[in-house]
């Protein structure tokens, strides 16, 4: 069960990680990245940062790899901003919800096209 404190810390992490990526990650291998959510363990020790990366699968994997290599720098920056004892271990993961939404949208479009009279 997710507590109120966990939700607040997850929200703060999402905002601060997004700001860090926007302002500090200058690697050209990282394409356009959006932080869409944070799944934080109840003990606040581990956080999965969900991101959407633009580009093909190869570009997405490259961006995720670079972000995961930046984790020590991100945690260091978070230590300066957050008021919690220990900054959680971070791992960046691709958020599948947007790809699924695109697929559903495409399928609904196909169904709509099939139902049109000619």
Number of domains in the chain: 1
CA neighbours within 13 Å on the CB side: how many for 56?
A: 1
User: Rounded to 5 degrees, what are φ and ψ at 8?
Assistant: -65, -45
Separation between Cα atoms, residue 87 and residue 74, nearest integer Å: 10
**CATH number, domain with residue 51:** 3.30.300.20
Owning domain of residue 20 = 4-115
Q: Strand (E) positions, 1-118?
A: 33-40, 46-53, 89-94
| pTM summary value | 0.79
Query: What per-residue confidence (pLDDT) applies to 2?
Result: 62
* pLDDT tens for the 118 residues of the chain, in order: 468 889 999 999 999 999 999 888 877 777 788 899 999 999 999 999 999 988 888 888 999 999 999 999 999 999 998 888 899 999 999 988 776 777 777 777 777 777 776 6
């Amino acid at each position: 069960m997710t507590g109120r404190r966990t939700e607040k810390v997850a929200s703060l992490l999402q905002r601060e990680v997004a700001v860090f990526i926007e302002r500090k990650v200058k690697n050209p291998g990282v394409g356009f990245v959006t932080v869409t959510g944070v799944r934080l363990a109840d003990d606040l020790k581990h956080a999965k940062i969900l991101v959407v990366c633009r580009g093909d699968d190869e570009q997405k994997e490259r961006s995720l790899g670079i972000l995961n290599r930046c984790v020590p720098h991100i945690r260091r920056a978070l230590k300066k901003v957050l008021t919690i004892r220990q900054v959680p271990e971070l791992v960046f993961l691709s958020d599948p919800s947007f790809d699924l939404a695109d697929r559903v949208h495409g399928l609904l479009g196909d169904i709509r096209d099939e139902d049109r009279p000619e």
